[in-house]
Structure 1
Protein backbone atom coordinates (compact mmCIF):
# COMPACT_ATOMS: atom_id res chain seq x y z
CA UNK A 1 0.00 0.00 0.00
CA UNK A 2 1.29 3.47 -0.89
CA UNK A 3 2.33 5.77 1.93
CA UNK A 4 2.68 9.55 1.87
CA UNK A 5 6.48 9.26 1.67
CA UNK A 6 6.25 6.72 -1.13
CA UNK A 7 3.86 8.92 -3.12
CA UNK A 8 6.10 11.98 -2.60
CA UNK A 9 9.04 10.04 -4.07
CA UNK A 10 6.97 8.93 -7.04
CA UNK A 11 5.80 12.49 -7.70
CA UNK A 12 9.37 13.82 -7.56
CA UNK A 13 10.56 11.06 -9.90
CA UNK A 14 7.81 11.84 -12.39
CA UNK A 15 8.71 15.55 -12.27
CA UNK A 16 12.37 14.76 -12.96
CA UNK A 17 11.39 12.53 -15.86
CA UNK A 18 9.16 15.26 -17.25
CA UNK A 19 12.08 17.70 -17.17
CA UNK A 20 14.25 15.25 -19.13
CA UNK A 21 11.44 14.72 -21.62
CA UNK A 22 11.06 18.46 -22.16
CA UNK A 23 14.81 18.84 -22.72
CA UNK A 24 14.86 16.03 -25.30
CA UNK A 25 11.76 17.47 -26.94
CA UNK A 26 13.44 20.87 -27.29
CA UNK A 27 16.63 19.28 -28.66
CA UNK A 28 14.72 17.26 -31.26
CA UNK A 29 12.74 20.34 -32.29
CA UNK A 30 15.88 22.43 -32.77
CA UNK A 31 17.55 19.72 -34.88
CA UNK A 32 14.49 19.31 -37.08
CA UNK A 33 14.73 22.97 -38.07
CA UNK A 34 18.29 22.70 -39.38
CA UNK A 35 17.62 19.42 -41.19
CA UNK A 36 14.43 20.71 -42.82
CA UNK A 37 16.29 23.86 -43.90
CA UNK A 38 18.99 21.69 -45.47
CA UNK A 39 16.36 19.61 -47.28
CA UNK A 40 14.73 22.71 -48.78
CA UNK A 41 18.10 24.02 -49.92
CA UNK A 42 18.99 20.66 -51.46
CA UNK A 43 15.76 20.59 -53.44
CA UNK A 44 16.82 23.67 -55.37
CA UNK A 45 20.38 22.40 -55.79
CA UNK A 46 19.21 18.98 -56.94
CA UNK A 47 16.82 20.56 -59.46
CA UNK A 48 19.63 22.69 -60.88
CA UNK A 49 21.99 19.72 -61.21
CA UNK A 50 19.30 17.57 -62.84
CA UNK A 51 18.49 20.29 -65.36
CA UNK A 52 22.20 20.62 -66.12
CA UNK A 53 22.44 16.90 -66.93
CA UNK A 54 19.32 17.08 -69.08
CA UNK A 55 20.85 20.05 -70.90
CA UNK A 56 23.97 18.00 -71.58
CA UNK A 57 21.93 15.15 -73.06
CA UNK A 58 20.09 17.59 -75.30
CA UNK A 59 23.18 19.47 -76.41
CA UNK A 60 25.19 16.31 -77.14
CA UNK A 61 22.18 14.49 -78.69
CA UNK A 62 22.54 11.49 -76.37
CA UNK A 63 19.64 9.09 -76.88
CA UNK A 64 20.66 6.19 -74.67
CA UNK A 65 23.30 4.92 -72.24
CA UNK A 66 24.85 1.47 -72.48
CA UNK A 67 24.93 -0.52 -69.26
CA UNK A 68 28.05 -2.74 -69.13
CA UNK A 69 26.20 -5.23 -66.90
CA UNK A 70 23.13 -5.37 -69.13
CA UNK A 71 23.89 -8.85 -70.50
CA UNK A 72 25.15 -10.25 -67.20
CA UNK A 73 22.99 -13.08 -65.78
CA UNK A 74 20.66 -11.76 -63.09
CA UNK A 75 21.48 -14.63 -60.75
CA UNK A 76 25.13 -13.52 -60.38
CA UNK A 77 24.39 -9.82 -59.86
CA UNK A 78 25.13 -8.28 -56.48
CA UNK A 79 22.70 -5.64 -55.26
CA UNK A 80 23.73 -3.24 -52.51
CA UNK A 81 21.19 -1.63 -50.20
CA UNK A 82 22.32 1.58 -48.49
CA UNK A 83 20.02 1.80 -45.46
CA UNK A 84 19.69 4.85 -43.21
CA UNK A 85 18.49 4.24 -39.65
CA UNK A 86 19.35 5.54 -36.18
CA UNK A 87 21.89 4.89 -33.42
CA UNK A 88 19.72 6.19 -30.57
CA UNK A 89 16.44 5.05 -29.11
CA UNK A 90 13.20 6.86 -28.26
CA UNK A 91 12.21 6.97 -31.93
CA UNK A 92 9.11 4.71 -31.73
CA UNK A 93 8.87 2.42 -34.79
CA UNK A 94 11.39 4.38 -36.89
CA UNK A 95 13.89 1.54 -37.28
CA UNK A 96 11.35 -1.29 -37.20
CA UNK A 97 9.38 0.17 -40.10
CA UNK A 98 12.56 0.73 -42.11
CA UNK A 99 13.80 -2.84 -41.57
CA UNK A 100 10.43 -4.28 -42.60
CA UNK A 101 10.30 -2.00 -45.66
CA UNK A 102 13.80 -3.06 -46.78
CA UNK A 103 12.97 -6.74 -46.38
CA UNK A 104 9.72 -6.45 -48.34
CA UNK A 105 11.25 -4.31 -51.12
CA UNK A 106 14.27 -6.53 -51.77
CA UNK A 107 12.16 -9.66 -52.17
CA UNK A 108 11.28 -8.47 -55.68
CA UNK A 109 14.92 -7.71 -56.59
CA UNK A 110 16.96 -10.63 -58.03
CA UNK A 111 20.60 -11.30 -57.23
CA UNK A 112 22.78 -11.44 -54.14
CA UNK A 113 22.19 -8.83 -51.46
CA UNK A 114 24.78 -6.69 -49.69
CA UNK A 115 23.98 -4.15 -46.99
CA UNK A 116 25.66 -0.88 -46.11
CA UNK A 117 23.88 0.37 -43.01
CA UNK A 118 23.94 3.74 -41.25
CA UNK A 119 22.92 3.17 -37.63
CA UNK A 120 23.43 0.36 -35.12
CA UNK A 121 19.77 -0.15 -34.25
CA UNK A 122 18.47 -0.75 -37.76
CA UNK A 123 21.47 -2.99 -38.40
CA UNK A 124 20.45 -5.22 -35.46
CA UNK A 125 16.90 -5.43 -36.78
CA UNK A 126 18.13 -6.39 -40.26
CA UNK A 127 20.38 -9.01 -38.68
CA UNK A 128 17.36 -10.49 -36.91
CA UNK A 129 15.72 -10.89 -40.33
CA UNK A 130 18.74 -12.79 -41.67
CA UNK A 131 20.56 -9.97 -43.49
CA UNK A 132 24.30 -9.57 -42.95
CA UNK A 133 25.79 -6.07 -42.96
CA UNK A 134 29.11 -5.68 -44.76
CA UNK A 135 29.63 -1.99 -43.91
CA UNK A 136 28.34 -0.15 -40.83
CA UNK A 137 28.49 3.64 -40.50
CA UNK A 138 27.65 5.85 -37.50
CA UNK A 139 24.71 8.22 -37.77
CA UNK A 140 25.83 11.87 -38.15
CA UNK A 141 25.41 13.82 -34.92
CA UNK A 142 24.67 17.10 -36.73
CA UNK A 143 24.45 18.63 -40.19
CA UNK A 144 28.24 19.19 -40.37
CA UNK A 145 28.90 15.47 -40.00
CA UNK A 146 26.77 14.52 -43.02
CA UNK A 147 29.32 15.53 -45.67
CA UNK A 148 32.13 13.21 -44.42
CA UNK A 149 29.69 10.27 -44.28
CA UNK A 150 28.36 10.93 -47.79
CA UNK A 151 31.89 11.35 -49.15
CA UNK A 152 32.95 8.02 -47.67
CA UNK A 153 29.93 6.14 -49.05
CA UNK A 154 30.48 7.68 -52.50
CA UNK A 155 34.12 6.65 -52.42
CA UNK A 156 33.25 3.07 -51.47
CA UNK A 157 30.51 2.81 -54.11
CA UNK A 158 32.82 4.04 -56.89
CA UNK A 159 35.52 1.57 -55.90
CA UNK A 160 33.05 -1.31 -55.92
CA UNK A 161 31.67 -0.29 -59.30
CA UNK A 162 35.15 -0.01 -60.80
CA UNK A 163 35.93 -3.51 -59.57
CA UNK A 164 32.49 -4.65 -60.86
CA UNK A 165 31.77 -6.22 -57.46
CA UNK A 166 28.30 -4.63 -57.18
CA UNK A 167 26.00 -4.01 -60.14
CA UNK A 168 23.20 -1.93 -58.58
CA UNK A 169 22.84 0.35 -55.55
CA UNK A 170 19.55 1.23 -53.84
CA UNK A 171 19.01 3.82 -51.13
CA UNK A 172 16.48 3.20 -48.34
CA UNK A 173 15.54 5.98 -45.95
CA UNK A 174 12.61 7.58 -44.17
CA UNK A 175 11.28 10.73 -45.82
CA UNK A 176 9.32 13.42 -43.93
CA UNK A 177 5.71 13.97 -44.98
CA UNK A 178 4.45 17.42 -45.88
CA UNK A 179 2.03 17.55 -42.94
CA UNK A 180 3.55 15.35 -40.22
CA UNK A 181 5.25 12.00 -39.75
CA UNK A 182 7.38 10.18 -42.30
CA UNK A 183 7.26 7.38 -44.83
CA UNK A 184 9.94 4.85 -45.90
CA UNK A 185 11.14 5.25 -49.51
CA UNK A 186 13.43 3.38 -51.88
CA UNK A 187 15.33 4.89 -54.80
CA UNK A 188 17.78 3.54 -57.36
CA UNK A 189 21.17 5.18 -56.89
CA UNK A 190 23.56 3.45 -59.30
CA UNK A 191 24.30 2.62 -62.08
CA UNK A 192 23.67 5.69 -64.23
CA UNK A 193 22.19 3.82 -67.16
CA UNK A 194 19.24 4.23 -69.52
CA UNK A 195 16.78 3.60 -66.66
CA UNK A 196 18.34 6.46 -64.72
CA UNK A 197 18.35 8.69 -67.81
CA UNK A 198 14.67 8.07 -68.53
CA UNK A 199 13.75 8.75 -64.91
CA UNK A 200 15.79 11.95 -64.87
CA UNK A 201 14.26 13.23 -68.09
CA UNK A 202 10.80 13.21 -66.53
CA UNK A 203 11.84 16.63 -65.23
CA UNK A 204 10.68 19.16 -67.81
CA UNK A 205 13.06 21.74 -69.23
CA UNK A 206 11.71 25.12 -68.03
CA UNK A 207 11.97 27.04 -71.34
CA UNK A 208 11.37 26.45 -75.06
CA UNK A 209 14.97 27.31 -75.94
CA UNK A 210 17.38 24.45 -76.60
CA UNK A 211 20.11 24.20 -73.94
CA UNK A 212 23.78 24.73 -74.79
CA UNK A 213 26.97 23.65 -73.04
CA UNK A 214 29.53 26.36 -72.30
CA UNK A 215 33.11 25.10 -72.23
CA UNK A 216 34.44 21.55 -72.56
CA UNK A 217 31.69 18.94 -72.46
CA UNK A 218 33.50 16.13 -70.64
CA UNK A 219 34.58 18.12 -67.52
CA UNK A 220 31.09 19.63 -67.41
CA UNK A 221 29.47 16.19 -67.38
CA UNK A 222 31.87 14.89 -64.72
CA UNK A 223 31.12 17.86 -62.47
CA UNK A 224 27.36 17.46 -62.98
CA UNK A 225 27.42 13.72 -62.27
CA UNK A 226 29.50 14.20 -59.11
CA UNK A 227 27.11 16.90 -57.95
CA UNK A 228 24.10 14.71 -58.72
CA UNK A 229 25.42 11.69 -56.79
CA UNK A 230 26.46 13.81 -53.83
CA UNK A 231 23.14 15.67 -53.70
CA UNK A 232 21.13 12.43 -53.94
CA UNK A 233 22.97 10.75 -51.08
CA UNK A 234 23.16 13.91 -48.97
CA UNK A 235 19.44 14.52 -49.35
CA UNK A 236 18.60 10.94 -48.35
CA UNK A 237 20.75 11.22 -45.23
CA UNK A 238 19.32 14.59 -44.17
CA UNK A 239 15.73 13.47 -44.78
CA UNK A 240 16.40 10.40 -42.62
CA UNK A 241 17.78 12.61 -39.83
CA UNK A 242 14.78 14.94 -40.08
CA UNK A 243 12.41 11.95 -39.92
CA UNK A 244 14.29 10.48 -36.95
CA UNK A 245 14.00 13.69 -34.93
CA UNK A 246 10.36 14.10 -35.95
CA UNK A 247 9.70 10.59 -34.65
CA UNK A 248 11.58 11.37 -31.45
CA UNK A 249 9.63 14.61 -31.04
CA UNK A 250 6.33 12.75 -31.40
CA UNK A 251 7.49 10.13 -28.89
CA UNK A 252 8.50 12.83 -26.40
CA UNK A 253 5.16 14.60 -26.81
CA UNK A 254 3.30 11.36 -26.06
CA UNK A 255 5.60 10.67 -23.11
CA UNK A 256 5.06 14.19 -21.77
CA UNK A 257 1.29 13.74 -21.93
CA UNK A 258 1.51 10.34 -20.19
CA UNK A 259 3.71 11.80 -17.45
CA UNK A 260 1.27 14.69 -16.96
CA UNK A 261 -1.60 12.20 -16.59
CA UNK A 262 0.50 10.15 -14.15
CA UNK A 263 1.27 13.25 -12.09
CA UNK A 264 -2.41 14.14 -11.89
CA UNK A 265 -3.22 10.64 -10.68
CA UNK A 266 -0.39 10.68 -8.11
CA UNK A 267 -1.41 14.10 -6.80
CA UNK A 268 -4.99 12.92 -6.35
CA UNK A 269 -3.84 9.81 -4.48
CA UNK A 270 -1.48 11.90 -2.36
CA UNK A 271 -4.17 14.43 -1.38
CA UNK A 272 -6.71 11.70 -0.65
CA UNK A 273 -4.24 9.79 1.51
CA UNK A 274 -3.14 12.97 3.29
CA UNK A 275 -6.77 13.93 3.95
CA UNK A 276 -7.48 10.45 5.29
CA UNK A 277 -4.45 10.74 7.57
CA UNK A 278 -5.63 14.13 8.84
CA UNK A 279 -9.14 12.77 9.42
CA UNK A 280 -7.74 9.85 11.41
CA UNK A 281 -5.69 12.19 13.60
CA UNK A 282 -8.75 14.40 14.20
CA UNK A 283 -10.85 11.37 15.10
CA UNK A 284 -8.15 10.28 17.57
CA UNK A 285 -8.12 13.74 19.16
CA UNK A 286 -11.93 13.86 19.43
CA UNK A 287 -12.08 10.32 20.82
CA UNK A 288 -9.43 11.14 23.40
CA UNK A 289 -11.20 14.34 24.39
CA UNK A 290 -14.51 12.52 24.84
CA UNK A 291 -12.80 9.82 26.89
CA UNK A 292 -11.32 12.46 29.17
CA UNK A 293 -14.74 14.07 29.66
CA UNK A 294 -16.35 10.73 30.59
CA UNK A 295 -13.58 9.93 33.11
CA UNK A 296 -13.67 13.38 34.77
CA UNK A 297 -15.90 13.72 38.02
Structure 2
Protein backbone atom coordinates (compact mmCIF):
# COMPACT_ATOMS: atom_id res chain seq x y z
CA UNK A 1 0.00 0.00 0.00
CA UNK A 2 1.32 3.44 -0.95
CA UNK A 3 2.10 5.71 1.95
CA UNK A 4 1.71 9.47 2.04
CA UNK A 5 5.49 9.86 1.92
CA UNK A 6 5.88 7.62 -1.15
CA UNK A 7 3.02 9.37 -2.93
CA UNK A 8 4.51 12.78 -2.15
CA UNK A 9 7.87 11.61 -3.58
CA UNK A 10 6.12 10.27 -6.70
CA UNK A 11 4.33 13.59 -7.20
CA UNK A 12 7.61 15.48 -6.89
CA UNK A 13 9.32 13.13 -9.36
CA UNK A 14 6.56 13.44 -11.95
CA UNK A 15 6.72 17.21 -11.55
CA UNK A 16 10.46 17.17 -12.29
CA UNK A 17 9.90 14.93 -15.33
CA UNK A 18 7.16 17.25 -16.56
CA UNK A 19 9.56 20.22 -16.32
CA UNK A 20 12.14 18.32 -18.38
CA UNK A 21 9.55 17.41 -20.99
CA UNK A 22 8.42 21.04 -21.28
CA UNK A 23 12.02 22.16 -21.69
CA UNK A 24 12.57 19.62 -24.46
CA UNK A 25 9.38 20.78 -26.17
CA UNK A 26 10.60 24.38 -26.12
CA UNK A 27 14.02 23.42 -27.49
CA UNK A 28 12.48 21.31 -30.26
CA UNK A 29 10.11 24.11 -31.26
CA UNK A 30 12.98 26.59 -31.54
CA UNK A 31 15.19 24.10 -33.40
CA UNK A 32 12.48 23.30 -35.95
CA UNK A 33 12.23 26.96 -36.91
CA UNK A 34 16.01 27.37 -37.16
CA UNK A 35 16.49 24.37 -39.45
CA UNK A 36 13.54 25.38 -41.61
CA UNK A 37 15.05 28.85 -42.03
CA UNK A 38 18.43 27.30 -42.88
CA UNK A 39 16.85 25.12 -45.56
CA UNK A 40 14.94 28.05 -47.03
CA UNK A 41 18.06 30.25 -47.04
CA UNK A 42 19.83 27.73 -49.28
CA UNK A 43 17.16 28.09 -51.98
CA UNK A 44 18.76 31.21 -53.51
CA UNK A 45 22.16 29.56 -53.80
CA UNK A 46 20.54 26.45 -55.26
CA UNK A 47 18.96 28.62 -57.93
CA UNK A 48 22.33 30.22 -58.70
CA UNK A 49 23.97 26.81 -59.16
CA UNK A 50 21.10 25.71 -61.37
CA UNK A 51 21.52 28.78 -63.56
CA UNK A 52 25.21 27.95 -63.89
CA UNK A 53 24.37 24.42 -65.04
CA UNK A 54 21.87 25.82 -67.53
CA UNK A 55 24.50 28.15 -69.00
CA UNK A 56 27.13 25.40 -69.40
CA UNK A 57 24.68 22.91 -70.88
CA UNK A 58 23.31 25.40 -73.39
CA UNK A 59 26.81 26.56 -74.30
CA UNK A 60 28.03 23.04 -74.90
CA UNK A 61 24.86 21.89 -76.59
CA UNK A 62 24.86 18.66 -74.60
CA UNK A 63 22.58 17.32 -71.88
CA UNK A 64 24.51 14.18 -70.98
CA UNK A 65 27.44 15.56 -69.00
CA UNK A 66 28.37 13.66 -65.83
CA UNK A 67 31.06 13.92 -63.24
CA UNK A 68 34.47 12.86 -64.57
CA UNK A 69 34.76 9.10 -64.16
CA UNK A 70 31.09 8.65 -63.27
CA UNK A 71 29.08 6.10 -65.21
CA UNK A 72 25.52 5.22 -64.24
CA UNK A 73 25.65 1.93 -66.14
CA UNK A 74 28.47 0.24 -64.23
CA UNK A 75 30.27 0.35 -60.91
CA UNK A 76 29.39 0.12 -57.25
CA UNK A 77 26.62 2.03 -55.53
CA UNK A 78 26.79 3.97 -52.28
CA UNK A 79 24.01 4.97 -49.92
CA UNK A 80 24.00 7.82 -47.41
CA UNK A 81 21.42 7.54 -44.61
CA UNK A 82 20.54 10.45 -42.31
CA UNK A 83 19.17 9.55 -38.89
CA UNK A 84 19.69 10.91 -35.38
CA UNK A 85 22.13 10.67 -32.50
CA UNK A 86 19.51 11.19 -29.80
CA UNK A 87 16.36 9.29 -28.98
CA UNK A 88 12.93 10.29 -27.67
CA UNK A 89 11.73 11.00 -31.21
CA UNK A 90 9.17 8.25 -31.74
CA UNK A 91 9.59 6.10 -34.85
CA UNK A 92 11.85 8.60 -36.63
CA UNK A 93 14.87 6.29 -36.90
CA UNK A 94 12.81 3.18 -37.59
CA UNK A 95 11.18 4.80 -40.62
CA UNK A 96 14.41 5.92 -42.26
CA UNK A 97 16.02 2.54 -41.48
CA UNK A 98 13.22 0.68 -43.26
CA UNK A 99 13.53 3.01 -46.26
CA UNK A 100 17.30 2.46 -46.39
CA UNK A 101 16.94 -1.33 -46.20
CA UNK A 102 14.33 -1.22 -48.95
CA UNK A 103 16.68 0.80 -51.18
CA UNK A 104 19.62 -1.51 -50.52
CA UNK A 105 17.76 -4.76 -51.07
CA UNK A 106 20.14 -7.70 -51.33
CA UNK A 107 22.91 -5.91 -53.23
CA UNK A 108 26.10 -4.89 -51.42
CA UNK A 109 26.53 -1.13 -51.18
CA UNK A 110 29.01 1.26 -49.65
CA UNK A 111 27.12 2.60 -46.66
CA UNK A 112 27.63 5.98 -45.04
CA UNK A 113 25.45 6.92 -42.06
CA UNK A 114 24.85 10.23 -40.34
CA UNK A 115 23.50 9.49 -36.86
CA UNK A 116 24.66 6.77 -34.50
CA UNK A 117 21.20 5.39 -33.75
CA UNK A 118 20.48 4.54 -37.39
CA UNK A 119 23.97 3.07 -37.70
CA UNK A 120 23.22 0.74 -34.78
CA UNK A 121 19.94 -0.35 -36.35
CA UNK A 122 21.55 -1.09 -39.71
CA UNK A 123 24.38 -3.05 -38.09
CA UNK A 124 21.84 -5.01 -36.07
CA UNK A 125 20.26 -5.98 -39.39
CA UNK A 126 23.60 -7.32 -40.59
CA UNK A 127 24.60 -4.35 -42.78
CA UNK A 128 28.20 -3.20 -42.76
CA UNK A 129 28.46 0.53 -42.11
CA UNK A 130 31.56 2.01 -43.75
CA UNK A 131 31.48 5.51 -42.27
CA UNK A 132 29.54 7.10 -39.42
CA UNK A 133 29.14 10.84 -38.84
CA UNK A 134 27.54 12.50 -35.83
CA UNK A 135 25.06 15.30 -36.28
CA UNK A 136 25.99 18.82 -35.16
CA UNK A 137 24.13 20.36 -32.26
CA UNK A 138 23.11 23.46 -34.21
CA UNK A 139 22.68 24.91 -37.68
CA UNK A 140 26.20 26.35 -37.61
CA UNK A 141 27.73 22.88 -37.83
CA UNK A 142 25.89 21.74 -40.96
CA UNK A 143 28.39 23.18 -43.44
CA UNK A 144 31.35 21.36 -41.85
CA UNK A 145 29.43 18.10 -41.82
CA UNK A 146 28.47 18.47 -45.49
CA UNK A 147 32.10 19.11 -46.43
CA UNK A 148 33.14 15.93 -44.59
CA UNK A 149 30.48 13.91 -46.38
CA UNK A 150 31.54 15.30 -49.78
CA UNK A 151 35.15 14.34 -49.09
CA UNK A 152 33.96 10.83 -48.29
CA UNK A 153 31.99 10.66 -51.54
CA UNK A 154 35.06 11.82 -53.48
CA UNK A 155 37.09 9.05 -51.84
CA UNK A 156 34.44 6.47 -52.76
CA UNK A 157 34.42 7.53 -56.41
CA UNK A 158 38.22 7.63 -56.73
CA UNK A 159 39.29 4.63 -54.67
CA UNK A 160 36.33 2.29 -54.32
CA UNK A 161 34.80 2.38 -57.78
CA UNK A 162 31.50 3.99 -56.71
CA UNK A 163 29.49 5.32 -59.66
CA UNK A 164 26.10 5.99 -58.08
CA UNK A 165 25.42 7.73 -54.78
CA UNK A 166 21.95 7.68 -53.18
CA UNK A 167 20.55 9.56 -50.21
CA UNK A 168 17.79 8.56 -47.79
CA UNK A 169 16.44 10.91 -45.12
CA UNK A 170 13.24 11.92 -43.35
CA UNK A 171 11.29 15.07 -44.12
CA UNK A 172 8.27 16.80 -42.64
CA UNK A 173 5.35 16.64 -45.01
CA UNK A 174 1.84 17.72 -44.06
CA UNK A 175 0.79 16.11 -40.81
CA UNK A 176 3.54 13.51 -41.10
CA UNK A 177 6.51 14.46 -38.94
CA UNK A 178 8.84 11.98 -40.65
CA UNK A 179 8.31 10.80 -44.21
CA UNK A 180 11.29 9.00 -45.84
CA UNK A 181 12.71 10.55 -49.01
CA UNK A 182 15.10 8.91 -51.50
CA UNK A 183 17.25 10.89 -53.96
CA UNK A 184 20.06 10.05 -56.35
CA UNK A 185 22.91 12.44 -55.73
CA UNK A 186 25.35 11.23 -58.39
CA UNK A 187 25.46 11.08 -61.32
CA UNK A 188 22.98 13.80 -62.20
CA UNK A 189 19.83 12.31 -63.75
CA UNK A 190 19.82 12.63 -67.53
CA UNK A 191 16.25 13.88 -67.44
CA UNK A 192 17.24 16.70 -65.10
CA UNK A 193 20.12 17.75 -67.36
CA UNK A 194 17.95 17.62 -70.48
CA UNK A 195 15.33 19.73 -68.77
CA UNK A 196 17.90 22.36 -67.82
CA UNK A 197 19.29 22.42 -71.35
CA UNK A 198 15.85 23.15 -72.81
CA UNK A 199 14.62 25.72 -70.29
CA UNK A 200 14.61 29.29 -71.59
CA UNK A 201 17.28 31.49 -70.07
CA UNK A 202 15.65 34.06 -67.74
CA UNK A 203 17.75 36.96 -69.08
CA UNK A 204 18.25 38.46 -72.50
CA UNK A 205 21.75 37.02 -73.05
CA UNK A 206 23.70 34.02 -71.82
CA UNK A 207 26.63 34.60 -69.45
CA UNK A 208 30.16 34.09 -70.75
CA UNK A 209 32.78 31.95 -69.00
CA UNK A 210 36.47 31.33 -69.67
CA UNK A 211 36.95 28.31 -67.42
CA UNK A 212 37.36 24.89 -69.00
CA UNK A 213 33.79 23.56 -69.50
CA UNK A 214 34.54 20.16 -67.97
CA UNK A 215 36.12 21.67 -64.87
CA UNK A 216 33.30 24.19 -64.55
CA UNK A 217 30.71 21.45 -64.92
CA UNK A 218 32.46 19.36 -62.28
CA UNK A 219 32.56 22.32 -59.90
CA UNK A 220 28.89 23.12 -60.45
CA UNK A 221 27.90 19.50 -59.85
CA UNK A 222 29.92 19.56 -56.63
CA UNK A 223 28.12 22.73 -55.54
CA UNK A 224 24.77 21.12 -56.34
CA UNK A 225 25.85 18.14 -54.24
CA UNK A 226 26.62 20.54 -51.37
CA UNK A 227 23.18 22.16 -51.71
CA UNK A 228 21.33 18.85 -51.78
CA UNK A 229 23.18 17.46 -48.75
CA UNK A 230 22.78 20.68 -46.78
CA UNK A 231 19.06 20.93 -47.46
CA UNK A 232 18.58 17.22 -46.73
CA UNK A 233 20.35 17.59 -43.38
CA UNK A 234 18.27 20.65 -42.51
CA UNK A 235 15.04 18.88 -43.49
CA UNK A 236 16.03 15.75 -41.56
CA UNK A 237 16.93 17.75 -38.45
CA UNK A 238 13.64 19.67 -38.59
CA UNK A 239 11.83 16.35 -39.00
CA UNK A 240 13.71 14.87 -36.03
CA UNK A 241 12.76 17.76 -33.75
CA UNK A 242 9.16 17.66 -35.00
CA UNK A 243 9.01 13.95 -34.14
CA UNK A 244 10.53 14.66 -30.73
CA UNK A 245 8.04 17.48 -30.17
CA UNK A 246 5.15 15.14 -30.96
CA UNK A 247 6.59 12.48 -28.64
CA UNK A 248 7.04 15.02 -25.83
CA UNK A 249 3.47 16.28 -26.27
CA UNK A 250 2.19 12.72 -25.88
CA UNK A 251 4.49 12.19 -22.89
CA UNK A 252 3.25 15.41 -21.28
CA UNK A 253 -0.35 14.27 -21.59
CA UNK A 254 0.53 10.93 -20.02
CA UNK A 255 2.44 12.63 -17.20
CA UNK A 256 -0.46 14.99 -16.51
CA UNK A 257 -2.86 12.07 -16.32
CA UNK A 258 -0.45 10.26 -13.98
CA UNK A 259 -0.16 13.35 -11.77
CA UNK A 260 -3.93 13.63 -11.57
CA UNK A 261 -4.15 9.99 -10.49
CA UNK A 262 -1.42 10.52 -7.91
CA UNK A 263 -3.08 13.67 -6.57
CA UNK A 264 -6.40 11.86 -6.20
CA UNK A 265 -4.73 8.91 -4.49
CA UNK A 266 -2.73 11.26 -2.24
CA UNK A 267 -5.88 13.10 -1.16
CA UNK A 268 -7.61 9.78 -0.50
CA UNK A 269 -4.70 8.48 1.61
CA UNK A 270 -4.47 11.77 3.47
CA UNK A 271 -8.19 11.71 4.23
CA UNK A 272 -7.88 8.12 5.47
CA UNK A 273 -4.94 9.12 7.67
CA UNK A 274 -6.88 12.07 9.13
CA UNK A 275 -9.89 9.82 9.72
CA UNK A 276 -7.76 7.25 11.56
CA UNK A 277 -6.19 9.93 13.71
CA UNK A 278 -9.60 11.33 14.60
CA UNK A 279 -10.89 7.88 15.45
CA UNK A 280 -7.85 7.30 17.65
CA UNK A 281 -8.51 10.57 19.46
CA UNK A 282 -12.20 9.75 19.95
CA UNK A 283 -11.42 6.21 21.10
CA UNK A 284 -8.85 7.51 23.56
CA UNK A 285 -11.26 10.10 24.90
CA UNK A 286 -13.99 7.47 25.36
CA UNK A 287 -11.54 5.12 27.07
CA UNK A 288 -10.46 7.85 29.49
CA UNK A 289 -14.10 8.83 30.14
CA UNK A 290 -15.05 5.22 30.92
CA UNK A 291 -12.14 4.85 33.32
CA UNK A 292 -13.21 8.01 35.18
Structure-2-length-normalised TM-score: 0.89
Q: Contact 2:54–2:196 at 8 Å: present in 1 too?
A: yes
Change over 3 Å in CA distance of 1:288–1:71 after alignment to 2: closer
Q: 1:145 aligns with which of 132, 141, 148?
A: 141
For 1:124-163, what aligned pairs fall within 5 Å after superposition?
A: 124-163=120-159
Change over 3 Å in CA distance of 1:98–1:52 after alignment to 2: same
1:45 is displaced (CA, Å) by: 2.6
Q: Which runs of 5+ in 2 are unaligned?
A: none
Q: Contact 2:72–2:187 at 8 Å: present in 1 too?
A: no
1:220 is displaced (CA, Å) by: 4.8
What is residue 293 of structure 1 aligned with on the other side? 289
Change over 3 Å in CA distance of 1:233–1:205 after alignment to 2: farther
Instruction: Give the Cα–Cα distance (whole angstroms) in 2 for the partners of residues 204 and 58 of structure 1.
Output: 9
1:193 is displaced (CA, Å) by: 5.3
Instruction: Give the Cα–Cα distance (whole angstroms) in 1 for the partners of residues 35 and 8 of structure 2.
Output: 41
1:151 is displaced (CA, Å) by: 0.6
Secondary structure (helix, strand or coil) at the match of 1:115 reads: strand
Instruction: Give the Cα–Cα distance (whole angstroms) in 1 for the partners of residues 152 and 205 of structure 2.
Output: 34
1:146 is displaced (CA, Å) by: 1.0
Change over 3 Å in CA distance of 1:185–1:230 after alignment to 2: same
Instruction: Give the Cα–Cα distance (whole angstroms) in 1 for the partners of residues 70 and 49 of structure 2.
Output: 25
What is residue 264 of structure 1 aligned with on the other side? 260
Change over 3 Å in CA distance of 1:65–1:270 after alignment to 2: same
Instruction: Give the Cα–Cα distance (whole angstroms) in 2 for the partners of residues 222 and 69 of structure 1.
Output: 14
Q: Contact 2:82–2:114 at 8 Å: present in 1 too?
A: yes
1:162 is displaced (CA, Å) by: 2.9
Instruction: Give the Cα–Cα distance (whole angstroms) in 1 for the partners of residues 159 and 49 of structure 2.
Output: 27
Q: 1:175 aligns with which of 157, 171, 174?
A: 171
Instruction: Give the Cα–Cα distance (whole angstroms) in 2 for the partners of residues 180 and 168 of structure 1.
Output: 29
Change over 3 Å in CA distance of 1:8–1:89 after alignment to 2: same
Q: Contact 1:117–1:123 at 8 Å: present in 2 too?
A: yes
What is residue 96 of structure 1 aligned with on the other side? 94
Instruction: Give the Cα–Cα distance (whole angstroms) in 1 for the partners of residues 248 and 47 of structure 2.
Output: 35
Q: Does 1:82 align with 2:80?
A: yes
Instruction: Give the Cα–Cα distance (whole angstroms) in 1 for the partners of residues 65 and 180 of structure 2.
Output: 30
Instruction: Give the Cα–Cα distance (whole angstroms) in 2 for the partners of residues 256 and 71 of structure 1.
Output: 52
Instruction: Give the Cα–Cα distance (whole angstroms) in 1 for the partners of residues 235 and 198 of structure 2.
Output: 21
Change over 3 Å in CA distance of 1:203–1:36 after alignment to 2: farther
Q: Does 1:242 align with 2:244?
A: no
What is residue 276 of structure 2 aligned with on the other side? 280
Q: Contact 1:174–1:183 at 8 Å: present in 2 too?
A: yes
- Please list the CA deviations of residues 195-225 of structure 1 after superposition, one character each: whole Å capped at 9, or x if unmatched: 5524x64996575x67612232536544432
**Number of residue pairs matched?**
288
Instruction: Give the Cα–Cα distance (whole angstroms) in 2 for the partners of residues 183 and 279 of structure 1.
Output: 57
For 1:108-123, what aligned pairs fall within 5 Å after superposition?
A: 111-123=107-119
- Please list the CA deviations of residues 212-260 of structure 1 after superposition, one character each: whole Å capped at 9, or x if unmatched: 1223253654443232111011111111111111111111111111111
RMSD, matched Cα: 2.4
Q: Contact 1:59–1:211 at 8 Å: present in 2 too?
A: no
Change over 3 Å in CA distance of 1:35–1:15 after alignment to 2: same
Q: 1:105 aligns with which of 93, 97, 103?
A: 103
Secondary structure (helix, strand or coil) at the match of 2:288 reads: helix
Q: Contact 1:78–1:111 at 8 Å: present in 2 too?
A: no
- Please list the CA deviations of residues 98-142 of structure 1 after superposition, one character each: whole Å capped at 9, or x if unmatched: 1111111222xx853111011111001011111100111111111
What is residue 209 of structure 2 aligned with on the other side? 215
